[in-house]
Structure 1
Amino acid sequence: MKYVMIGGDAAGMSCAMQIYREDPDAHIVAFEKGEIFSYGQCGLPYLIGGLIDHHRKLIARSAETFRNKYGIDARCLHEVTSIDTEQKTVSGIHTKTKQPFSETYDRLLIATGASPITLVLDGHPLEGVHVLKTIPHALSILDNLKKDVTHITIIGGGYIGLEMAENLKTLGKEVHIIQRGATLGPGFDPDMARYLKEEADDKGIHVVLGETVQYLEGRTHVTAVQTDKQTIETNMVIIAIGVTPQTSFLDKTGIKRLQNGAIAVNKYMQTNVKDIYAAGDCAATYHRIKKELDYIPLGTTANKQGRIAGLHMTGTNRAFQGVTG
């Protein structure tokens, strides 16, 4: 049996390792479009804050470890761009050499993750504006921080925005966090969210609620953020307004997706197409309270979904029980 993983991070490699544990002789191929396999994205704000002193400490296993220790054919810089569901073949390009490739599969996992949402604003791109989703993103922010950066504005008050605000404050920076809604932490009820605001205030973080970013100022480098109510001078901007599933390459496959692009799956992480599974930030997940599929991209969920997919792909029917928020 030949198993192919599209995506080499949490869900993809949790699935690959589960398949290996169930069937050590399985033929497993994992494609990752970046240069790094299997690292902890959740630790990136703490790498920037200095709690983690090197990005290598976020890497659970390298591509070489997967290949040499587990016999998993882990390939970096391989971006899958299409799936032929009838011929059971994935195709793509090497992101540096532009060399095309194709690979057949018996069972396939889509674990392509999600991309950070960026602001669509008038004007040209400016230096000093960042997102945070990958190790290269974090290294870019760290490199920017070596310059004369004293005032940082974070757009978005969710998990990443809050963690970045805390870590940047520990570095002695002046930090503003702008949230369009009335409270920080959109996933929290108002009675809980107020504690986030109180903690941010205690740490000296400037919290701006109920304002919408209109545009960014600057000639080549960002110098200010203009909201619908005020101008905030800044040396750096971090956009943390959520993510969107990386599934546009599935448009012609017939694989069902939610309106936002998240792949619809059942409790075994199966899609509607035979022998194709999905897990992680590219996939929907069952919400036990709402009793429907929802999109709640979290690393813990991705790891669980990957293991469930790996079990079912090798013949064990263990169901994913869903999430509550």
Structure 2
Amino acid sequence: MSSNICAAETAAAKPIAIEEYLIGDSAPMLLLRNMVRRVANSSASVMICGASGSGKEVVARAIHAAGLRASKPYVALNCGAIPAELIESELFGHERGAFTGAQARRTGHFENAHKGTLFLDEIGDMRFDMQVKLLRVLEDGLVSRVGGNSALPVDVRIISATHQNLEQAITNGRFRQDLYFRLGVVLLHVPTLAERVEDIPQLIAHFQRGKNSADNCHFDHSAIAQLQAHDWPGNVRELRNIVERANVLFHGETIDAFGVDQLLGRMAPRMNVAPRAATLPDPIPTKPQTWDAPIDLKAQIEGIELERIQIALGRADGVISEAARLLTLKRTTLIEKMRKYGVDRVMLQEN
């Protein structure tokens, strides 16, 4: 099976500290690590629930690595990525000639994970008829290869994961309730990154670990604050991509909140040329002005607006979300006004 369809691997290692897998000291992560410690040394089935990109497979690896089966195989299978006609063979194996193309005997993931851990990712995507066969194996501890006549005993700990609401899937007749109870002896919830933004600095350090520090970009205080203000729809996976993008675009530099907005696609990237100075409107006159000539009211209003934006950004140390709060504007509105007046991070540093 090609790697783009199935993610399966084995591992043989001594138990590893859970903190090496589950990064962060926020309250949700402390609770999750405590739960992982409690379940690691048992063989109970664990179901991990959480949004896409939140790190469910990392939790599964932590449970395996910290448990009694750490020296035995860890095998991972994405149920949603396997074609429906092949998933039975992937799980249970097949004998030679069992179907067209079966030119040799093949052991399945249950056999490969014997004495170890089998991680079934996206279990909610499993075909309904396969759910029946999986339940039978979990109940009996026996697998039969496709096209085979004998049952083989297996000792496998099952860890499953899903981003779906399986209770709703049960109500809709798409998931078996008995399988849900069999897989979910212990239910673990992985928090979203938005629920633990205080862990972002530690996660950044983790993603950059092992790389040449001179090649890594650095996030200043305003950049961290801006990252923590983001809603993170892609969760930890999105943060990892942002860090990799930052290392490429800001190679060895220190970036601020404005740079974070560029990384998040909120503003057009700044070219490596000297910025064009903003054309400042005429200042507001300090003395009474006669009405002998027309007054450029728009220019005067823009002058006030630009001045207040610069003051707010200065007081907020360049943090756009804080400056927007001081100006009682939406952050997106402030960014548009900064574009309008040509205010960028270089100009802010010079002022």
Going by fraction, where is helix more abundant, 1 or 2?
A: 2
User: Structure 1-normalised TM-score?
Assistant: 0.27
Which has the larger share of strand? Answer: 1
